[in-house]
Amino acid sequence: MTDVTETAQHRGRALLDLGRPAEAERLIRQALSARPDDAELHHLMGRALLAQERCDEAIESSRRALASDPQHVGAMYLLACAHAAEGDNDRARHVVDGALQVAPEAAALHSLKGAILARQGFTEAALTSVEHARGLDPEDPDVVAHHAAVLYDLRRNPEAAAAVADALALDPDHAEAHRLRGLLALRGGGSKVALEASRQALRLDPTDPNYRHDLAMAMKARNPLYALLYRVGDWQSSLPGAARYAFILAPFVLNRALRPFDDHLWARVLLVLVVGAVLVMWALEPLMNTVLLCSRFARRLLPRDATLATYGFLAYLATAAGCAVTGLVSGRGEPVLLGAALGLWAMSAGQAHTIRPRLRRLAVVLHLVGGLVALAAVLSLALTGTAGALLTVVLVAGIAMLWFTSFA
């Protein structure tokens, strides 16, 4: 290896450690042009690509490293991480098991296996793996923080908090431990601690998108209603699939159950409370994102899909408000009803970034089509005085989009 290539490799590794993967990638590619079969360089390239969430390319780089050196444990670890990042936990676990045959005493591999098992729902096996990893290397803050992360996923909050404290005692500047401390505080309702811990994590690693997301969540959680909404959502995510769907359907079922009691005051009050709670749950997320967009610093914390969803929410909401005001001033019901229909689309658009990634593109297409139909309805109302059948389409489709967003 020439001095130039060696320098590029060392500088690339240093930039990776500093959290600057894009700059590291350029240097590592320079080194690879001189040594295309170097396993360690391919491993470093995989690290840089994975840090930029380019999982497919990271997998390819890891495989090239293993083609040059089939016993490269770091490349096996990276390959498993890349598969896990793509959601292919079965393949990630298979890779880790193969790596453990080569390095059975590698604490990081046992720790990673525990995290993968936890994602697959094998809670006891996951805990066994991370505890074994911690037994192999109790002084490694990464391993201890990984133990805390699995405990957090298993909702064993006091034990997770103790593990986080242990990790920070080993390394007070461990970014992931601070992140977990913030997440535990959010789960427990401590928004002030969550904000401080999330800021510290982002300060230590300003390039990690997860840390930016967590700080945004902590900032929104300063609103007590949003903090409560977060805790409800966190609790809901821990429920089995059938129970989650039952929770989503509960307001609709309750509304139907109260219909026979429409003439009772208590039923009307309860129905108003239920409808109000549902509206708050749907509208609070985009409203708080709107607040963040008003701050030059905070708007950089929101990912692009959340920002676009918020702008979509505001566009629908402004149009809905205009229709509603027009209807109230003129005393006509059709503009008010169109405003209500557009309000449904606004709430769906504001939650679009929470849809599972594989369905998000479909949601974007549906909103583009819905937006064009809604625009046609508004123009028809303005030019002819009636939206006609377009009003029914916007209303029914808006209800359908809410259900799609709820289950997607």
In whole angstroms, how far apart are CA 50 and each of 92, 299, 392?
Answer: 14, 25, 47
Cβ proximity of 111 and 133 under 8 Å: yes
In percent, how much of the chain has pLDDT > 70?
A: 99
Report how far apart, in Å, the C-alpha atoms of 120 and of each of 110, 125, 211, 262 are: 15, 10, 24, 46
In angstroms, the first-to-last Cα distance of the chain is 51
Position 254 scores a pLDDT of 78
- pLDDT of 5 > 90? The answer is no
Most confident of 39-53, 139-153, 164-178, 202-216: 164-178
How many helices (DSSP H) and strands (DSSP E) are in the chain? 20, 0
| Rounded-to-integer distance, Cα 356 and Cα 83, Å | 18
pLDDT in tens, 188-239: 887 889 999 999 999 988 878 889 989 999 999 988 888 888 888 878 777 7
Residue 325 has pLDDT above 80, yes or no: yes
Confidence at 4, pLDDT banded by 50, 70, 90: low
Q: Answer whether residue 1 shows pLDDT above 60.
A: no
What are the C-alpha distances in Å from 110 to residues 9, 119, 201, 224?
Answer: 28, 14, 25, 39
DSSP string, 328-340: HHHT-HHHHHHHH
Name the more confident of 332 and 123: 332
Q: Closest by alpha carbon to 85, among 306, 406, 357? A: 357
Instruction: Check: pTM over 0.75? Answer yes or no.
Output: yes
Average pLDDT score, the chain? 87
Does pLDDT of 70 surpass 80?
A: yes
Q: What is the pLDDT of residues 286-324, one digit of tens each?
A: 999 999 999 888 888 888 889 999 999 999 999 999 999
Long-range contacts (CB closer than 8 Å, 24 or more residues apart) made by 279-283: 279/347, 280/225, 280/229, 281/229, 281/232, 282/347, 282/350, 282/351, 282/402, 283/347, 283/350
For tokens 């700059």, what's the residue?
A: 23
- What pLDDT is stored for residue 62 in this prediction? 92
pLDDT (tens digit per residue) in 268-283: 788 778 778 778 888 8
pLDDT of residue 232: 82
Q: Is the pLDDT of residue 367 over 70?
A: yes
Cα separation, 282 vs 18, whole angstroms? 39
pLDDT at 2: 58
CA distance 191 to 223: 9
Q: Residues 72-121: pLDDT tens digits?
A: 999 999 999 999 988 889 999 999 999 999 999 889 899 899 989 988 88
Residue 169: per-residue pLDDT: 94
Answer for the pair 160, 180: CB distance below 8 angstroms, yes or no. yes
With a cut of 60, say whether residue 284 has pLDDT above it: yes
